[in-house]
Amino acid sequence: MRQSSLVVVANRLPLDDNAAPDGACEWRRSPGGLASALHAILEGTPATWVGWGGGVGGAPILPDIGTLRLRPIALTEEELRGYYEGFANSTLWPLYHDAVEQPVFDRGWWETYRAVNHRFAEAAAEVAEPGAAVWVQDYHLQLVPQLLRELRPDVLIGFFMHVPFPPPELFMQLPRRVELLRGMLGADLVGFQREQAAHNLAQLAVKLLDAEYTAHSIRVDGRVVRTGAFPVSIDVAEMESLSARPYVRNQVAKLRHDLGVHKKVLLSVDRLDYTKGIEHRLTAYNELLRDGRLKVRDTVMVQVAVPSRERVESYRGLKDRIEGEVGRINGEYGRVGEPAIHYLNQPFDRADLAALYQTADVMVVTPLRDGMNLVAKEFVAARSDDAGALVLSEFAGAAAELEDAFLVNPHDLDGLKETLLRALDAKPADLARRMSAMRAHITYHDIHAWARAYLTALDHTGRLARTLPRQRVAAYSDRHR
């Protein structure tokens, strides 16, 4: 295996689940996914990506994707259940999302999580050239920074948490809290979506490890670990280009015709996950129809729910509840050939998503808790017409940046209903002002700006940042460095 000066370590490789029989590799793109965020900055960058290929059994031999080398990690069926479905997504995921769903603490899952993290660390150590930078991604791999430091003290280690990082009172519930904390603090730089998460980490380090904390740094075990907020973004230029394609324009016209030319279209695009607030959203829409404040002849909802973690019991239950509620609403308020809700439980390719974004009058992004939510930013990037409204949860990381959205507390159903009505009734001039301001923000703070800011903060030299594709450049302020 050749070595690289930049190594990305993530749970998944950026491959399509249905790879072509001839072995051709494609980027795996999904709404809000980590692979979607990293796609733009790594597609043309000499680097190695360490990750799981998605299957069980031996690690496949995979060709490079352009300049990107792939180093697959093998998982057994038992490891998939304990590491991924268990500790990562039934313990950490719910706890980190405000315990919206009760986390499950299983001692066996922890042992598997630790073993798999060690395998990732060993692979990263193998492919990193002397003095390389290794960029570890997200909650699946929290132990990797410290494990890698023990194996390769010569490398520069970055860790980025894409999901929320909880306040101390929630994190303290974890039986293995000290090991997880030490794992993250093995990095030279720990990055988060929001500044509050960095503060949460510092509080925990002081409480559990007797660390010292100053602005944006934690001194622990004789080392200084830097922290900061680096809000992740999207490839704005790619979404703008995609949205201008003739196929997408034609799809917009077809969707408008099929949904009803004179109808207002409410759109939501989510992974099928209990953190996304889909049930709250359906309840609000149902009550607006029940009270006659919205009518099926004037309004239609399109809910895309991309399948997710289908083997995890809580996700199967959520799917059943949502499908039951959609059926009930359509049965009560729909008419022949005119449903109240179009519900699509299937993956969507990028072009069809861009068409949906441009069809919507109101984009409804109302997670109960979300690290960022890139769908909200994709919608804004797709609206070169400066039309459309964005209803956005206060509890999505994107709310701190997209202040001109119609912000809402999704737990407040009456407030959610009123906000939906305000967005539907907003004047075109008000919508254009809001959308223009949001588009200006994400154009300046795009995915390239995020990567350059993080990597420059990691190595202090800008050398790593200069290896990235020289596309649209936007500079962050230095407040988090």
Strands 217-220 and 223-229: antiparallel
The structure tokens 């992004």 sit at 365
> Do 322 and 282 contact (CB within 8 A), yes or no?
yes
How much is the pTM? 0.92
The residues, any chain, with a CB within 8 Å of residue 58's CB and separated by 6 or more, are 74
CA atoms of 300 and 260, how far apart (whole Å): 8
Give CB contacts under 8 A, 24+ apart, made by 168-173.
168/200, 168/203, 168/204, 168/207, 170/95, 170/96, 170/98, 170/99, 171/95, 171/200, 171/204, 172/204, 173/95, 173/103, 173/105
* SS3 label, residue 72: strand
CA atoms of 463 and 404, how far apart (whole Å): 35
The residues, any chain, with a CB within 8 Å of residue 443's CB and separated by 6 or more, are 236, 472, 474
Catalytic site residue from 39, 97, 140, 162: 162
Ordered structural domains, the chain, with CATH: 4-233+447-467 (3.40.50.2000), 236-444 (3.40.50.2000)
Residues 224-254: tens digit of each pLDDT: 999 999 999 999 999 999 999 999 999 999 9
* SS3 label, residue 253: helix
In this model, does residue 430 exceed pLDDT 80?
yes
Of the chain, the percentage scoring pLDDT greater than 90 comes to: 79
**Over residues 172-198, mean pLDDT:** 97
The structure tokens 């499950």 sit at 104
Q: What is the DSSP letter of 166?
A: -
Catalytic site residue from 370, 441, 446, 480: 370
Residue of higher predicted confidence among 46 and 218: 218
Query: What pLDDT shows up at residue 480?
Result: 35
Query: What pLDDT shows up at residue 61?
Result: 79
CA atoms of 258 and 132, how far apart (whole Å): 53
Nearest partner of 201 among 118, 139, 257, 247, judged by Cα: 139
Query: What pLDDT shows up at residue 63?
Result: 81
What are the φ/ψ torsions at residue 369 (nearest 5 degrees)?
Answer: -165, 135
Query: What pLDDT shows up at residue 470?
Result: 64
What are the φ/ψ torsions at residue 82 (nearest 5 degrees)?
Answer: -80, -45
Q: Quick check: is 162 catalytic? A: yes
Instruction: For the chain, give the mean pLDDT.
Output: 91
In this model, does residue 151 exceed pLDDT 50?
yes
> Do 365 and 408 contact (CB within 8 A), yes or no?
no
Residues 98-149: tens digit of each pLDDT: 988 999 999 999 999 999 999 999 999 999 999 999 999 999 999 999 999 9
Q: Quick check: is 370 catalytic? A: yes
CA atoms of 7 and 50, how far apart (whole Å): 7
Reported confidence tier of residue 481, pLDDT bands at 50, 70, 90: very low
The structure tokens 């737990």 sit at 411
Query: Residue 44, exposed/middle/buried by CB under 10 A (0-12, 13-18, 19+)?
Result: middle
